[in-house]
Chains A and B, each alone.
Chain A
């Protein structure tokens, strides 16, 4: 661009790009990314839903900060909602009432913010399931799995601090619940509670403190994680399902510019539009029905947002044990659920590392597993989800009881037993289903697809005609990897010296057998088997 004539001829857009390139090096960046290839599958849109709802939350959240007053000073209500006029309430509640009734469009933005939060967390949950069941968390993507895990957990707390802000009767009850849970922590519980609330519950500080956590601290961390998450997705390139022409060394799909720019950009508007429409139709968190928080009042059927439901279930199902020794109280009934809450979520974080330890596999994996081809992993996942869902039911035990005319006692016992038995049953059943599906795939490869056409053989027997699979289908059904279970290596070394087998090694060999032993996978058809059947006597 040294030549003056050249510069005059270049269109304005190019000149701007040149300017930026001289300072930011955008051409090199664009070279690597503009035509980046993304594979197509419906389940890859789940992550996009999360991203877009996060953006929607931030946009609407900023709007809400323009009107919301994070203060617990008591004021009398004089807004346009008649039933509450003259009532005492915190400024937080008052300003949320103002947003809902006196700011035109304020209610819509509030509802979009809340609906988007609910969808954001649901999206992350399902997205996480997709990544888990397809094995997309394997090397090199373990760190991105952790980023996602952190986003999910932080999202729960951001949601919780958010719906506590309006200081209404329902959310106040949730805050009280949290404070009670904090009190149960041995040794430091009362101190944490005093420090968090600036004294005794509810005090006059928590709304302001939750506010800065909700709008600044947690979203700030989350924004960083989201950006990191996306950079890693770009850097690793997207995974893909097995299929003709798709290998571990390539990525097949369509380019970012223009196809994914249009599809993903368009999808943002679809999600935003859908959430806006939902928020125009379906009310969420109608705080005026609940009224302002009073520690001595409560509404029946109090329920947190869905993503906190499983914590609620844990605390409802746990028997109220208290251990009193040496002048101290260990509040098992509350503390155990609190610990389980952490453990249950923590399992998500550690799983990829456990699996890679069991397999000892250090290679990169870019081809997704079909869930059936990893029966033990799939069974673990379904067991976890079952436990989660049972706790979710437990969190609504009163709703279930009244709705289905059951006794609350029965529902609670169902949940208690289900918490232990449910995951085990789910594990066994899932594994069987996976093995069944593997067998069916093998059958299909070796004997072809059932056509539904019935043929009568000369000697009168009826058979169904099987059609051999195309080469594409054969490849797709046989290309998955199968591990051999690990064995304990030789116990004497080259010099004949006995080696001590470490406990870790024994555990791992056991796990490896459980994962990849005969009971856990159906050996995929071999070329020899296939040839024998196809060349020989055709179908039988």
Chain B
């Protein structure tokens, strides 16, 4: 279609035509193709001593390679796998890894260098020209193929017997569905899984480091404390998946400094608990600046203001960190007063 819209004259003249046949420069065309330049001999082509030197160089490289392989095996056997050496400027590195890498590298590199040197100095370097042939078939070939195809198509009667054709297409179109159906059990449906975490009313906030339930007095001003719900242990089968949603971040802020009303309500004596999982794409937040009460996600630098409802003040996160409503139980431990009210972590279509 497109070739018809563009007239031939817009295409450049083909280079072979533009300058006529290969020939010497003449009065008529100083830009003519002078043809392949004459071959220039290398020193190895004319001086047998130089060729011998090249031969020795190649053999030397191949011999080095053999020695390096012996070195590799010797290192493998002799060097203990936990020995480290100091090598400037690399510092302390595994002696075995270094020795194996260098010997293997040398063994391979010398084979390569030998082969390339051999090719460059001793093998013929006379340039040869090969013809190219057009890729498209000749018109007769094409005509034959088209005729064959028409014969085949006619003999199959696919065009005439529509019933066969249509049911066949139907069958072929349907059967892959079985394959798709088989993928169903790859995973459960989302349902409301992303909306719930292990937090529930009465669950104690357990310090991630000490594994002890937290009291308000354990949360000092200016420090960032990480917590998990009581009952969730590292050895639990579902630990990774549960902590990926339940991880909590606790700080203490002077109640007067809390700007958000709901935040103040959901806090206990200025102690606030927020989801540790960034609302951008889910990294755990780990950096806290105590003067400003800003927390920073190290992955893409989203910054949240914990004194103002954890709203986003910088970076690619799209919404504030969810807050967990907390209080203190009869025994004086910090407890959750329910689950998060909104999903933690990255946003998704059904989040709303």
Contacts and interface: CB of A to CB of B under 8 A. Distances in A.
B317 A333 contact: yes
Contacts of A333: 280, 316-318
Nearest to B350: A190
Given A295-B247, A527-B29, A360 B299 contact: no
A302 B15 contact: no
A244 B347 CA distance: 62
B48 interface: no
Interface in B57-83: 76, 81-82
A165 interface: no
Interface in B93-110: 93-94, 96-102, 104-110
Contacts of B81: 80, 101-102, 104
B35 A37 contact: no
B132 A265 contact: no
Given A180-B345, A298-B283, A202 B125 contact: no
B30 A331 contact: no
Most chain-A Cβ atoms within 10 A of its Cβ — which of B228, B240, B298, B302?
B240
Please tell me the size bucket of the interface on A. Answer: 35 or more
Contacts of B25: 471, 474
A319 interface: yes
A151 interface: no
Given A269-B109, A530-B31, A280 B101 contact: yes
Given A176-B282, A185-B349, A329-B347, A104 B108 contact: no
A276 B349 contact: no
A449 interface: no
B281 A37 contact: no
A391 to B, nearest CB: 13
Interface in A63-85: 74, 80
Contact of A300 (B129, B187, B286, B347): B286
B82 A190 contact: no
A234 B188 CA distance: 49
B293 interface: no
Contact of B349 (A186, A357, A360, A397): A186
Contacts of B247: 295-296
Contacts of A487: 10
Contact of A315 (B119, B129, B281, B348): B281
A245 B28 CA distance: 19
A249 B16 contact: yes
Interface string B304-318: 000000001011111
Most chain-A Cβ atoms within 10 A of its Cβ — which of B2, B113, B235, B319?
B2
B301 A195 contact: no
B76 A105 contact: yes
B109 A250 contact: no
Contacts of A101: 81-82
B114 A266 contact: yes
B173 interface: no
Contacts of A475: 19, 31-34
Contacts of A474: 25, 30-31
A173 interface: yes
A321 B317 CA distance: 8
A296 B243 contact: yes
A302 to B, nearest CB: 6
A328 B350 contact: yes
A267 interface: yes
A272 interface: yes
Interface string B159-201: 0000000000000000000000001001111100110000000
B112 A191 contact: no
A479 interface: yes
A447 interface: no
Contacts of A480: 15
A118 interface: no
Contact of A297 (B126, B280, B284, B317): B284
B288 interface: no
A144 to B, nearest CB: 12
Given A274-B109, A316-B300, A194 B189 contact: yes
A258 interface: yes
Nearest to A237: B132
B190 to A, nearest CB: 4
Contacts of B302: 320
A181 B81 CA distance: 41
A361 interface: yes
Contacts of A505: 5
B40 interface: no
Contact of A321 (B22, B76, B183, B318): B318
Contact of B107 (A180, A273, A319, A485): A273
Given A200-B245, A297-B284, A248 B16 contact: yes
A277 interface: yes
B11 interface: yes
B9 to A, nearest CB: 7
Most chain-B Cβ atoms within 10 A of its Cβ — which of A177, A276, A319, A409?
A276
Contacts of B193: 194, 199-200
Nearest to B12: A481
Nearest to B31: A478
A120 B30 CA distance: 45
Interface string B107-124: 111111111101110011
Contacts of B123: 258-259, 262
Contacts of A247: 15-16, 22, 33
A327 B316 CA distance: 22
A93 to B, nearest CB: 12
A111 B109 CA distance: 18
B346 A331 contact: yes
A362 B316 CA distance: 47
Interface string A311-349: 000011111111010011111111000000000000000
25 contacts: A80-B81, A105-B96, A108-B97, A108-B101, A111-B97, A177-B299, A179-B281, A189-B348, A199-B193, A200-B245, A245-B35, A245-B36, A272-B112, A273-B108, A280-B97, A283-B93, A295-B277, A296-B247, A302-B283, A333-B318, A361-B11, A363-B11, A364-B135, A398-B301, A486-B6
Given A245-B37, A252-B128, A315-B281, 16 more contacts: A74-B239, A181-B281, A245-B36, A250-B130, A262-B119, A266-B114, A273-B108, A277-B106, A295-B240, A298-B284, A302-B283, A320-B317, A360-B3, A508-B2, A512-B10, A527-B31
Interface of B: 2-3, 5-7, 9-16, 18-19, 22, 24-25, 28-37, 76, 81-82, 90, 93-94, 96-102, 104-116, 118-120, 123-132, 134-135, 183, 186-190, 193-194, 208, 226, 228, 234-235, 239-241, 243-245, 247, 276-277, 280-284, 286-287, 298-302, 312, 314-319, 345-352
Sorted from nearest, which 9 A-B pairs have the closest CB atoms?
A280-B101, A180-B281, A266-B115, A273-B109, A277-B105, A360-B6, A269-B112, A245-B36, A273-B108
